[in-house]
Amino acid sequence: MMPGIFTYSKRIHAGAICVALCCALAATPVRAQGAGDAPEFVEPPASANAGYFSLNWRMPESSANAEADDDPTPRFEIQEGTNADFTNPRLIYRGPETATTVSGKADGDYFYRVRKIDARNDQSWSAVHTVRVVHHPLNRAFAFLLLGGVVFLATAFLILRGDADRGKSDAGGAP
């Protein structure tokens, strides 16, 4: 065997091994510490105009199964921000429940994220969710109030008129 062919053959094998190793590493998902362990919001609202909304979350199934024995009563924390960077976050919930109701918000965009708090201090934040609060216009509220008042007065009028007609028929039909 010639020395040049053997060296060339070693290079081909080394190159093939390097390519296979790179492909295997590229196909393997890389997880940051705690990534995938973060809770996820369940059907969060995109907008709210009723003055309140609910946020619900859950742990991913793979994470919940893996940590079932580690932490029997997980605790969660939700932060609210006025921007997606959470430069000035406000804690709105801390506890074991997987839902909370938010109310009393002025018109605007609000950003929410949730994380699990456990004994290992493995606290990954969920993906950020945005809720746009846009209240009903004040003139629409007054229109509904006026319409309700008209319906109330019409109903009261019909009840009183029917009672008066019944009194006349009772008085005129008695011997």
CA 125 to CA 45: how far, in whole Å?
A: 19
Q: How far is CA 31 from CA 5, 38, 76, 89, 153, in A?
A: 42, 12, 21, 26, 66
Q: What is the mean pLDDT of the chain?
A: 76
- 120 and 142 assigned to the same domain: no
Evaluate whether residue 69 is within a structural domain: yes
Which has more pLDDT, 8 or 161?
161
Domain span holding position 44: 40-133
- 151 and 80 assigned to the same domain: no
pLDDT at 16: 46
CA 150 to CA 39: how far, in whole Å?
A: 49
Which has more pLDDT, 157 or 2?
157
Evaluate whether residue 35 is within a structural domain: no
CA 82 to CA 96: how far, in whole Å?
A: 25
- 71 and 94 assigned to the same domain: yes
Percent of the chain scored above 70 by pLDDT?
66
- 159 and 114 assigned to the same domain: no
- 109 and 24 assigned to the same domain: no
pLDDT at 22: 40
- 62 and 109 assigned to the same domain: yes
The residue ranges of DSSP E strands in 5-85, in sequence order, are 40-41, 47-48, 52-58, 75-81
**Tokens coding 2:** 């010639």
Evaluate whether residue 15 is within a structural domain: yes
- Residue 128 above 90 pLDDT? yes
Give the pLDDT confidence of 7-63 residue by residue, as tens digits: 545 544 444 444 443 434 333 333 333 445 788 999 888 888 887 899 999 988 765
- 101 and 145 assigned to the same domain: no
- 22 and 77 assigned to the same domain: no
Split at pLDDT 50, 70, 90, the class of 71 is low
- 45 and 121 assigned to the same domain: yes
- 104 and 165 assigned to the same domain: no
Task: Provide the number of structural domains found in the chain.
Answer: 3
pLDDT at 108: 92
Contact call for residues 59 and 39 (beta carbons, < 8 A): yes
- 144 and 107 assigned to the same domain: no
